[in-house]
Chain A
Amino acid sequence: MRIAIEHRTTYRFSEPQARIVQMLRLTPCDTQDQTVVSWLVGVDRDARLRDTGDGFGNMVTMLYAEGPIEALDITVTGEVLTSEASGVVRGALEPLPPLFYLRGTARTEASDALFVFAADSAGTADDTLERLHAFNAALHRRFPCVPDLPDAGCTASRAFETGGKVSSRDVAQMFIAGARGLMVPARYASGYRAEDAARSAPHAWAEAHVEGLGWVGFDPSTGLSPDESYVRVAIGLDASGAAATGGMRIGHGQEQLAVDLHVDRLGGEE
């Protein structure tokens, strides 16, 4: 599938900022089933962009801008060619072994309730893949309608227990917390999903490592594995570790963040 992405992030400040340093994870990598045809990260003002990495295999762009800055527009435009792989991630750069992704983080510790839910819904099948699919489907049944919302910084356990405004980010973190609780290495994935409607945040899902298969994507927002309509951009131990944008500013006042995102399919396989 040929997918076109236009992802604009706009910061507006109530008072001019003296400096901004941002760390952007906005550039996808090629894998066996994902080819980046074109990709451009642009900024609407004089700024210095530097490409770097983060140790997890993600492509990172550092953005440095000098003030006075009243607004900042970061625009990503690109095209990616994908093929169907039943959610299996093939040919990605993997600097860290699966074992690393058993590590907990403050945002992905499973509370007793979340752990029990994961263990009960995963069942007792010998096949890890089967158990993970069952857990993924159960999460989807419990949270059937999860929009892509900006990261509110919530922990997996709190989102699970309080319900409320649960996003794709939250259910992905719940899956990760539950899977690690079941001693399956799991990580957070962030990217895009070709859909009709415009949206206000990138999509999020999870990946778990299954012996013999490698890393497999699980999307609790759909209860299924990612298909060829997904573009995988960044991974991390949790939502914070894969954040698309994040930074520090020097200056007073409030910040307003708006995201405008269009992900369009341009046609089938060629």
Chain B
Amino acid sequence: MAARGAFDEIWGHGGPDSPRAEFAALSRWLAETDAAELQRRQQSAEAAFRQLGITFAVYGDSDAAERIIPFDIVPRVFLAGEWARLSEGLVQRVEAINAFLEDIYGARRILREGVIPPELIYLNAQFRAEVDGVRPPHGVWAHICGIDLVRTGPDQFYVLEDNARTPSGVSYMLENREAMIRLCPELFRDFRVAPVDSYPDMLLKTMQSVAPGGNPRPVCVVLTPGHFNSAYYEHSFLADSMGVELVEAADLVVDDDVVWMQTIAGRVKVDVIYRRIDDDFLDPLVFRPDSMLGVPGIMAAYRAGNVAILNAPGNGIADDKAIYSYMPEIVRFYSGGEARLPNVETWRCREPDALNYVLANLPELVVKLVDGSGGYGMLVGPTATRAEIAAFRAALVAEPHRYIAQPTLALSTVPTLAEQGLAPRHVDFRPFVLTGSDGVRVAPGGLTRVALREGSLVVNSSQGGGTKDSFVLLDDGA
């Protein structure tokens, strides 16, 4: 699908010669900075990322060495007013996610009132009976959320998916910013950009705020599956920048329903764990018994209220793609008002009418597996071959309940450095929203992913996507 007709966040609909009025100054910077110079700066940033080891491995690509995610030097910019409106929607959504989790593992009012079909919860593997009836410390479930958004106009944002388990990518927000400050200092002189470097501090305060029993000096740790994990860099980066220990399962023991960290100086009681391992691998006594990554007994400590686990076990039911389509109803149910951030229109293929519509319109739609992620198990109708469409048609007919479908939106673009100079490329956005016992905060930035191939809508890093810095301005013009 060509970028023609899409809203460009800097150039508007008119191209480089008639940018949006608010972006006149930034547009001038783009026009006046030599492309070769931008190229040089970009390469310098990528060299730095390689040196830092901000790499990832592509799943299913056995001979791939660790790669860096390509970085684009042209920032994506939000005006202060745009950001304020977006933030309101994000806070509302994350509050609803927390309320939903509290309810679904508690009173289940939303099921009693018939808002969501109960089989969608009870027959969903993401509903974890093992935490049913357990309330996490301070009643916070989704401490760190990454809400994936797409945009089609100045204030037209749509939620593509919610990530309420272990969203990654925040290290790119921080490292991209550091690179931009070094390589394009003039931008930070000319524009007032909200700083993002307080994120580790925000995260630590969030962790401390949910310590069991209101301990004022809780021991916090980051739990990683280990260095072979594709996001290991981020785990170590966050632990390091918060000044807390990075631990693996073997460093933790549970005794008498209390979690302890084994250190050279002896055992230290652990109050708060930011875990970057999936529920399945958290506790071999409760979840997968074959897991070597987990901490036996950790769920008993959690159940006893002796440790906070971020994000709470069982959260997968809130960001499940089958539940996603009910998010507008969920937000309305808990907030009492309409969702400020709409969903992308979604057809639930489990419903016969929706399935018929989807089968009749496959070439125009994006079809996704309910339980897939990272762009796998996905059909992008407009760019798919006839064989791919035929294969998806068969899969849909066989197991319709496993799929949802959405229209292909005219995703916004941002000028991006391509081989022939600056050109519009489609982007999405993942802001990070933190919830502690003292409220919800939106980090003033996020992860902008850009589809580097002309016309492509797939921004996943495993499939040719790159990243950009995301500026949140303190003014309404750049």
Contact = CB atoms under 8 A, between A and B. Distances in A.
Contacts of A164: none
B122 A55 contact: no
Interface in B101-115: none
A100 interface: yes
A21 B123 contact: no
Given A21-B254, A50-B257, A64-B255, 20 more contacts: A21-B285, A21-B297, A23-B297, A23-B300, A50-B304, A52-B300, A53-B303, A56-B129, A62-B257, A66-B255, A96-B129, A96-B132, A99-B123, A100-B129, A103-B122, A240-B289, A246-B285, A247-B296, A248-B285, A248-B296
A246 B290 CA distance: 12
Contacts of B119: 99, 102
Contact of A52 (B131, B289, B303): B303
A54 B255 contact: no
A50 B296 contact: no
A212 interface: no
A72 to B, nearest CB: 15
A240 B286 CA distance: 10
A136 B157 CA distance: 56
B289 A64 contact: no
A267 interface: no
A252 interface: no
B118 A97 contact: yes
Contacts of B297: 21, 23, 62, 64
B256 interface: yes
Q: Which of B128, B285, B303 has the most CB of A within 10 A?
A: B285
A69 to B, nearest CB: 14
Interface of B: 118-119, 122-123, 125, 127-134, 253-257, 284-286, 289, 296-297, 300, 303-304
Contacts of B132: 55, 95-96
Interface in A60-102: 60, 62, 64, 66, 95-97, 99-100, 102
Given A55-B133, A62-B300, A103-B122, A247 B285 contact: yes
29 contacts: A21-B297, A22-B285, A48-B255, A48-B256, A50-B256, A50-B257, A52-B304, A53-B303, A55-B129, A55-B131, A55-B133, A55-B134, A60-B300, A62-B257, A62-B297, A64-B255, A64-B256, A95-B129, A96-B122, A97-B118, A97-B122, A99-B118, A100-B122, A100-B127, A102-B119, A102-B123, A240-B289, A247-B285, A248-B285
A74 to B, nearest CB: 15
A19 interface: yes
Contacts of A97: 118, 122
